[in-house]
Amino acid sequence: MARNPKITFIGAGSTVFMKNIVGDVLQRPSLSGATIALMDINPQRLEESAIVVNKLIATLGVKAKAETHSDQRKALAGADFVVVAFQIGGYEPCTVTDFEVPKKYGLRQTIADTLGVGGIMRGLRTVPHLWKICEDMLAVCPQAIMLQYVNPMAINTWAISEKYPEIRQVGLCHSVQGTAMELAHDLNLPYEEIRYRSAGINHMAFYLKFEHRQPDGSYRDLYPDLVRAYREGRAPKPGWNPRCPNKVRYEMLTRLGYFVTESSEHFAEYTPYFIKEGRPDLIEKYGIPLDEYPKRCIEQIERWKDQAQAYRSAQRIEVEESKEYASSIMNSVWTGEPSVIYGNVRNNGCITSLPRDCAAEVPCLVDASGIQPTYIGDLPPQLTALIRTNINVQELTVRALMSENRDHIYHAAMMDPHTAAELDLDQIWSLVDDLLAAHGDWLPAWARVGRKNEAA
């Protein structure tokens, strides 16, 4: 009798996300008998997640079973797949700190979870916990594949491959397929008729091709249509969030010739062009939602109160297919049935114009051998140049973590495009001091004291 896979969720208290992935998994015949091991440090969230999983199993009538764990290593023992989804420090206090401290310096952010001073601090908080998972995996499930859904994705993926190169890992995001769906909608085309190829780094990958299949089987380039729709005011169409009109990315398309995969609210803070002190006209023109991520956190916390109660009282939990790659990866590895996903992996020469050791986001073939990145070659030079500005920040943050050299935290902030466009060197140094002091014990011990306290 064939063995069923064990799928461990670290950070299972991210219940809505976990529900989407487990719902996808249980609908695949090869995975429907899986053991789902849920681990979280918050007992209430863990219990709520277990309720959801058991109701999904009952609704779908499958043979899967759920376990709950507060001990990470026990949850990981014998796992085939490890899904990681947590936020170290949560909305309060850490996200609030990442927004409020920079604001005192006039540095305003939109999301602050990937790049900028917010992304650097999140990386410093997060990577040591990911490394601990790697350590436990090597002890109790060394062949398992880590499916890592944590931000800052590129910093995390890079740091794991530096310290634990033997861990089989992929960083996963839904921006590539999600944005492709948005663009198809903007052009009134069925997503199923779109063909695309994307490459770059997480949150700054670009569609190198974006095409529409014609009745005769040929493909037509859609970039002229996208530019025309933007210039004529037909695109972008209103999306799920009225605060985020998505104009930044269309504007960058007209300048670079390529469309970026992550949202306009993210992209506005990865570059020095859009958020500027004393330029409210830019904020208004491009509809840039300052402080967007804290607003989302508050809304999500409020929504969850009602949602948790609804899950507790529901007899059944209906399942819709999500756009996440996790179940597709697991199915391909488990059965050998090939699939293609977009994953974040060590570059290793896939994108020849970017550093070999950076975390690249490229198309990957998945089968029984695991996740195999595909070769891209050089990116167009303007895309390489822009991506490098973000890689500089990621690399210095990873160097800080690997060497435990606090100087590199300051260097990372100094190289950040948005921070450098707004603050002078003394302000950047002082801001990093203040952030390190404010985060305190959320940071690894070597990073906890600001430079100005060193002599004390």
Taking a C-beta distance cutoff of 8 angstroms, is the pair 261, 243 a contact? Answer: no
- Give a yes or no: residue 450 inside a domain: no
The answer on 65 and 136 residing in a single domain is yes
- Give a yes or no: residue 449 inside a domain: no
The reply to whether omega before 43 is within 30° of 0 (cis) is no
**What per-residue string of b and e applies to 354-386 under the rule 16 or more CB within 10 Å gives b?**
beeebbbbbbbebeeeebebeebeebeeebbeb
The answer on 223 and 142 residing in a single domain is no
The answer on 47 and 62 residing in a single domain is yes
Structural domain span for residue 117: 6-171
DSSP string, 409-445: HHHHHHH-HHHHHH--HHHHHHHHHHHHHHHGGGS-G
Which tokens is 328 given? 């597709």
CATH number of the domain within which 223 lies:
3.90.1820.10
Q: Which amino acid is at 234?
A: R
The answer on 413 and 333 residing in a single domain is yes
**pLDDT of res. 126:** 98
From the list 431, 451, 410, the residue with the least C-alpha distance to 97 is 431
DSSP string, 24-66: HHHTSGGGTT-EEEEE-S-HHHHHHHHHHHHHHHHHHT---EE
The answer on 184 and 114 residing in a single domain is no
The answer on 88 and 181 residing in a single domain is no
Annotated binding site for Mn(2+): 173, 203
**pLDDT of res. 305:** 85
The answer on 248 and 136 residing in a single domain is no
- Give a yes or no: residue 456 inside a domain: no
The answer on 101 and 140 residing in a single domain is yes
- Give a yes or no: residue 399 inside a domain: yes
| pTM, 2 dp | 0.96
The count of domains in the chain is: 2
Residues acting as catalytic residues: 174
**pLDDT of res. 455:** 38
Annotated binding site for substrate: 151
From the list 441, 401, 434, the residue with the least C-alpha distance to 450 is 434
Taking a C-beta distance cutoff of 8 angstroms, is the pair 413, 419 a contact? Answer: yes
Taking a C-beta distance cutoff of 8 angstroms, is the pair 144, 82 a contact? Answer: yes
Residues of the chain with pLDDT under 50: 450-456
Nearest-10 Cα torsion for 12, 17, 19, 22? -80
DSSP state of 93: I
**pLDDT of res. 1:** 64
- Give a yes or no: residue 30 inside a domain: yes
The answer on 219 and 259 residing in a single domain is yes
- Among 139, 171, 203, the domain boundary falls at 171
Which tokens is 166 given? 């033997």
The answer on 438 and 318 residing in a single domain is yes
**pLDDT of res. 14:** 87
Beta bridge partners of 341: 364
The answer on 220 and 366 residing in a single domain is yes
Which tokens is 53 given? 């999983």
- Among 108, 137, 171, the domain boundary falls at 171
- Among 155, 171, 187, the domain boundary falls at 171
Q: Say how far apart CA 22 and CA 31 lie, in whole Å.
A: 10
Taking a C-beta distance cutoff of 8 angstroms, is the pair 83, 8 a contact? Answer: yes
181 Cβ neighbours under 8 A, 6+ residues apart? 191, 323
Q: Say how far apart CA 330 and CA 337 lie, in whole Å.
A: 10
Tokens 């949850």 correspond to: 75
- Give a yes or no: residue 134 inside a domain: yes
DSSP string, 229-261: HHHTT--SPP-S-TT---HHHHHHHHHHSS-BS
The answer on 159 and 177 residing in a single domain is no
- Give a yes or no: residue 448 inside a domain: no
Annotated binding site: 151, 173, 203
- Give a yes or no: residue 454 inside a domain: no
CATH number of the domain within which 128 lies:
3.40.50.720
From the list 141, 144, 194, the residue with the least C-alpha distance to 170 is 144
